[in-house]
Amino acid sequence: MTDLTLYHNPRCSKSRAALEILEARSLAPTVVR
């Protein structure tokens, strides 16, 4: 399986939504803030 890295800006609604979708699918990305 490919490793996932999410460059996350907690102030960005699209970034928060992307993280929420990944977590809902039981995927655990590496989160870089």
Angle at 14 between CA 18 and CA 31, to 5 degrees: 50
Please return the burial class of 15, using the count of CB atoms within 10 Å of its CB with bins 0-12, 13-18 and 19+.
middle
User: Which of 3 and 2 is assigned the larger pLDDT?
Assistant: 3
pTM as predicted: 0.81
With 80 as the cut, is the pLDDT of residue 1 above it? Answer: no
How many Å apart are CA 33 and CA 25, to the nearest integer? 21
Q: Which amino acid is at 26?
A: S
> What average pLDDT does this structure show over 15-25?
97
Average pLDDT, the chain: 95
